[in-house]
Amino acid sequence: MIHQHTLEDPNMPDTPFTPALTFAFEIRARLEPTMHVGHGDGEKTEFTPIVGGTVDGPLLRGVVLPGGGDWSNTRGRVCELDARYLLRAEDGAVIDIVNRGYYHEDGDGPDQFDGDLQVTRAGVYYRTSPTFRTDAPAHRWLSRTVFVGLAREAEEHSVAIRMYALL
């Protein structure tokens, strides 16, 4: 049974629960130039090859393997992202990542920082929701954890995605 709390409910906690995000690692993916795939009715489809990169953070270190890519569909001013690629952890384990999200520049949010690192530019929404698969015992936690990715353009021909685990 679902129980609804009202403002007068004495069982309702005084402080609402706020989920915690913990920085896990950052993926820096190197990209080849984007290829135009086609136009549908009111949309544009493109493919961006992922050709390598790094994974660095307190919970995972390794490299981005070449051969993946990001298929994007843009409708109006919103770009829907659907990337799939492989990571190789420092211990040699291969990890599959499917990373979906949205990019648009019509937001009104402020610059956002994680410490001194600017992770979001004002007015830009660039968020992902990655899922991971691996049978490596040391990394199975990735496939049992919900993540939020804050993406940003890094140096030329690369994107940085800062991964936060939802606890």
CATH of the domain at 49: 2.40.160.20
Range from 18-27, 34-43, 47-56 that averages highest in pLDDT: 47-56
In which domain, by residue range, is 45 found? Answer: 21-166
pTM of structure:
0.85
Number of domains in the chain: 1
pLDDT 10s digits, 87-126:
999 999 999 999 999 999 876 777 777 877 767 777 888 8
What pLDDT sits at residue 40?
Answer: 81
* Whole-angstrom distance, CA of residue 155 vs CA of residue 160: 9
Identify whether 66 is part of a domain.
yes
Question: Is 11 a domain residue?
Answer: no
**Is 143 part of any domain?**
yes
Domain-embedded: residue 3 = no
Q: Name residues whose C-beta falls within 8 Å of residue 92's C-beta, 6 or more positions apart in sequence.
A: none
> Using an 8 Å Cβ cutoff, are 65 and 86 in contact?
yes
